[in-house]
Amino acid sequence: MKNTTRTQFNAYAAHIAQLNGIDDATVKFNVDPTIEQTMEERIQESADFLGDINILPVEELSAEKVGLGIDNPIASRTDTTTKDRAPRPVGDMTGQTYTAKKTDFDTYITYRQLDIWAKFKDFQTRLRNKVIQQIARDRLMIGFNGTSAATETDIETNPLLQDVNIGWLQHIRNDASERVLSGIKVGAGGDYKNMDAAVFDAVNELIDPWHRDDSALVAITGRTLLSDKYLGLINDNDAPTEKNALRTLMANKTLGNLPGLGVPFFPTRGVLITKRSNLSIYWQEGSRRRQIMDNPKRDRIEDFNSVNEAYVVEDFGACAFLDGILLPDGQGGWA
């Protein structure tokens, strides 16, 4: 690291320490609650899809789901001469719980890269955004691909962070299998002639009646499942490459009369039908820890971040999942 870069890095570490009310950011510390909230907001802003769902602070490590963003019917009438009026809950009050898992979001930046960035006036912002953007990417991967929360994760075996936490889709598989259609064949001679028919049928058969006509329902899928005929990429040559990689692509046409969303890291052969407000990430207040270290043995700066978090589907009745869709393989079979 060059001396000029060292000066900038020291100023960066001192600024973080000042914001969190501590003396030294190179010693492990609890992130200040205000900074914790600001960091969460920046993570949410870094990826389009994260900005559309709920990212909520919770006090308990494990408790009942919040049920935010979900509305159930409440209109009724009671003959009060024989019994009391019985209020109904607003939201999903099924007694289902969440459990937040400690997740490490640790990153490093090499001296060489720091030396390049030190030439820019926004050095500290670039350093901050490097961490923020990677956390946003990881949360999308975990939310759509997470199947377990291993004690020791293995990035080589699970390149999409499948073992870091249980994501939204796995929660549906585990806790609401009646909302899942697995291995359906879509195409001539299959279970459904096309994707529109499959999505339309899933809405009518798997989603609770009071949610079926909700204008907030969308069909979330991977970018590769929708052909160019259905999906148009919004050109924005001025946008940073990192931001483009985290952008939600809006379909020009619909899937089963629902708006189609192509979201990064979503399984290539799946479609989730739900409201965006039905998906949440809970993070436990006061659980974020951080430490910034200079590691000359590896010629890099290391930033250790951890937080307890959970991926939550608020109301299973407002979702349907087409899992492992099979398409014609061009040789008379399905793949």
| DSSP states along 161-207 | -TTTSB-HHHHHHHH-GGGEEES-BBSTTSSBSSHHHHHHHHHHHHS
Residue 155 to residue 113: CA distance in whole angstroms? 24
36-57 pLDDT, tens per residue?
999 999 999 888 899 999 999 9
Q: Is residue 301 part of a domain?
A: yes
pLDDT band at 89 (very low <50, low <70, confident <90, very high): low
CA distances in angstroms from 132 to 44, 77, 148, listed in the order given: 9, 50, 24
CA distances in angstroms from 146 to 84, 109, 122, 140, 143, listed in the order given: 45, 26, 35, 10, 6
Q: Is residue 17 part of a domain?
A: yes
CA distances in angstroms from 277 to 55, 201, 309, 320, listed in the order given: 10, 22, 18, 14
Q: At residue 17, does pLDDT exceed 90?
A: yes
126-154 pLDDT, tens per residue?
888 888 988 999 999 999 999 999 999 99
Q: At residue 220, does pLDDT exceed 50?
A: yes
Please give the share of the chain, as a percent, with pLDDT higher than 70: 87
105-130 pLDDT, tens per residue?
998 999 999 999 888 888 888 888 88
pLDDT at position 238 is: 46
pLDDT at position 207 is: 96
User: Once rounded to an integer, what is the mean pLDDT over residues 13-26?
Assistant: 94
Q: At residue 239, does pLDDT exceed 50?
A: no
Please give the share of the chain, as a percent, with pLDDT higher than 90: 66
User: Once rounded to an integer, what is the mean pLDDT over residues 50-72?
Assistant: 84
Q: Is residue 243 part of a domain?
A: yes
pLDDT at position 230 is: 53
The total number of structural domains in the chain stands at 1
Please indicate, yes or no, whether the overall pTM of this predicted structure exceeds 0.85. Answer: yes
Which residues lie closer than 8 Å to 313 by C-beta, 6 or more apart? 168, 171, 172, 175, 176, 274, 278, 279, 280, 319
User: Once rounded to an integer, what is the mean pLDDT over residues 226-251?
Assistant: 52
pLDDT at position 75 is: 74
Residue 265 to residue 80: CA distance in whole angstroms? 53
Pull the structure tokens for residue 194: 């096309």
SS (H, E, C) 232-243: CCCCCCCCCHHH
24-39 pLDDT, tens per residue?
999 999 999 999 999 9
Residue 143 to residue 284: CA distance in whole angstroms? 17
Domain of 109? 3-66+96-323
Residue 282 to residue 55: CA distance in whole angstroms? 6
70-81 pLDDT, tens per residue?
566 667 777 788
Q: Is residue 136 part of a domain?
A: yes
Q: Is residue 75 part of a domain?
A: no
pLDDT at position 216 is: 93
Pull the structure tokens for residue 275: 């409201």
307-323 pLDDT, tens per residue?
999 999 999 999 999 99
Q: Is residue 283 part of a domain?
A: yes
Q: Is residue 84 part of a domain?
A: no
Q: Is residue 287 part of a domain?
A: yes
